[in-house]
Amino acid sequence: MKLLDRWKILIGQSIVLAPMLASPFTEAGQAQLAADDWLPQPNSAPPAFKNTLNASDAVNVYAAHRSHSSHSSHSSHYSSSGGYSAPRYSAPTTSYYSAPAPTTNVYRSSTPSTNTITTPHPSTTRGAMPVSAPVAATPAATDVSMLVRRVQLALMIKKYYSGAIDGVLGNGTRGSIMAFQADSGIANSGRMDTPTLNALGIAIP
């Protein structure tokens, strides 16, 4: 063959094959275009498809006695990517029910006096109800008064106490506690000690 013909064949074939060089860029294929840092994208690789036929730790289902629970060979051996840690989302402190009922305002303005409770009440208001109430808002004094109330309630049901359920450890309450302790064979201390609380059926805290 003459040299010119060889050259024509060579050039012709090159022209035909040239589009093949660009083919990697025409596919939206598995090989992703890497980012500037050339690192693999950790969250976009396909997950492992280990199943009971091809997993290296798969149990031979024909040999083993089938149990009810699934085999742990299904769990992916996919390594977790370190590095990125999402910021912790804390529960919103906005008052819940952020869609206010339209009648609320009417109710408030027309009958303001019924909004307050006449009974002694801890510090929480009837306004916004924060979801994450700080612990400091419930002082220890309130815990004690609640415990006294529970004691007074229990004594009332057992007919030892008939005064007000006011959370105050006064003479009447103390007297009722002592009477209960005497009847129950507990040391007569007049205090809300553990045997007394147990006998009244009050779990602590």
Partner 1 sequence: MLRRDTQFDVRHVVMPKLLKVVTPEELIEKGITICAGKADFDDLILWMAAANESYHEQLMTLPVGGFLFQEEVTPQSSCGAIILAAPRDPEVVQPGDVIAISPDTNVVRVVYRRKANSNLLFMTDRCNSLCLMCSQPPKDVDDRWHVDENLRLLDLIDPGPEQLGISGGEPTLYRDGLLAIIRHAAVTVPEKALHVLSNGRLLSDSSWIADLKTLGHPNITWGIPLYADNARDHDEVVNAPGAFAETMAGLYNLHRAGQQIEIRMVLSKLTVGRLPEWSHFVFRNLPFTKHVALMGIENTGLAKKNYEALWIDPADYQTQLALAAHFLDIRGLVVSVYNLPLCVLEPTLGRFYRQSISDWKNLFIDTCQACSAKHACAGFFKSHSPRWQSRNIHPLSLQELETLQGAPYEVA
Per DSSP, helices labelled H in 22-102 are 23-26
Rounded to whole angstroms, the Cα distance separating 153 from 18 reads 92
Per DSSP, helices labelled H in 22-85 are 23-26
- Do 48 and 78 form a contact (C-beta atoms < 8 A)? yes
Rounded to whole angstroms, the Cα distance separating 199 from 180 reads 9
- Choice between 149 and 174, CB closer to partner 1: 149
Give the shortest CB-107-to-partner 1 separation in angstroms.
6
Give the shortest CB-186-to-partner 1 separation in angstroms.
17
Give the shortest CB-114-to-partner 1 separation in angstroms.
5
- Choice between 13 and 105, CB closer to partner 1: 105
Give the shortest CB-131-to-partner 1 separation in angstroms.
5
- Choice between 10 and 131, CB closer to partner 1: 131
What's the one-letter identity of residue 196?
A: T
- Choice between 108 and 191, CB closer to partner 1: 108
| Cα–Cα distances in angstroms (integers) from residue 50 to residues 55, 57, 61, 75, in the given order | 5, 9, 15, 8
- Do 165 and 156 form a contact (C-beta atoms < 8 A)? yes
Give the shortest CB-160-to-partner 1 separation in angstroms.
12
Residue with tokens 């090159």: 14
- Choice between 13 and 95, CB closer to partner 1: 95
Give the shortest CB-193-to-partner 1 separation in angstroms.
17
Residue with tokens 């529970």: 150
Rounded to whole angstroms, the Cα distance separating 177 from 159 reads 11
- Do 167 and 119 form a contact (C-beta atoms < 8 A)? no
- Choice between 14 and 123, CB closer to partner 1: 123
